[in-house]
Amino acid sequence: MSARPGKRIQTRERTLTGILNEISLMATRIFNRRVKDVGLTRVQWQVLYLLYQHDGQTQTELAETLTMAKPPLGKVVDRLEEDGWVERRDEPKDRRAKRVFLTEKVTPLIGPLEKIVDEIGDVTTRGLSHTDREAFIEFLHVAHRNLAGEADANHR
């Protein structure tokens, strides 16, 4: 199959969305490998860390923050609850809603897991000057805000 005249074929690695996806997949793979003995996945850790920052969120709040659909997030929370990492409690103002709270099992893991996340960030930006690293992170924040705004606009 030949390319159209004047049309450059971009490989997955050369497109912005392709490279961002690859980075995310590699970071997930590295994280999952490093925490295998703990028995958590990256998405489970993300849920736990969100709760560490603000305990007692509803599953809807967690799903929105993680830009995840509610059913898959519910399965993640089910697994975390089965393994004793979180507990669900009734929301007094809404009988249908449940709030998710951390258990004491999480506390000793916060520091070591934050360190792993920081190490992955260091590997990701290895070879960049401090200034370039800060600029790179700011560019990613801009991209995140842009995409979040687009996702919110399309969700309405």
Span 51-57, average pLDDT: 94
**pLDDT for res 134:** 95
Mean pLDDT, rounded, for 25-50 = 90
Across the chain, mean pLDDT equals 87
Range of weakest confidence among 12-16, 47-51, 136-140: 12-16
Beta bridge mates, 86: 102
CATH architecture, domain 15-124: Orthogonal Bundle (1.10)
Q: Where are the chain's structural domains?
A: 15-124
Give the number of other CB atoms < 10 A from CB of residue 140. 12
Least trusted range by pLDDT, from 14-18, 35-39, 131-135, 149-153? 149-153
Tell me if residue 1 falls in helix, strand or coil.
Answer: coil
Four-residue CA torsion sign, 52, 53, 59, 63: negative
Report CA-CA distances (Å) from 77 to 3, 86, 138, 139, 154.
Answer: 47, 8, 31, 32, 26
Handedness of CA 25, 27, 29, 32 (dihedral sign): negative
* pTM for the model: 0.75
Closest CA to 70 of 58, 83, 60, 57: 60
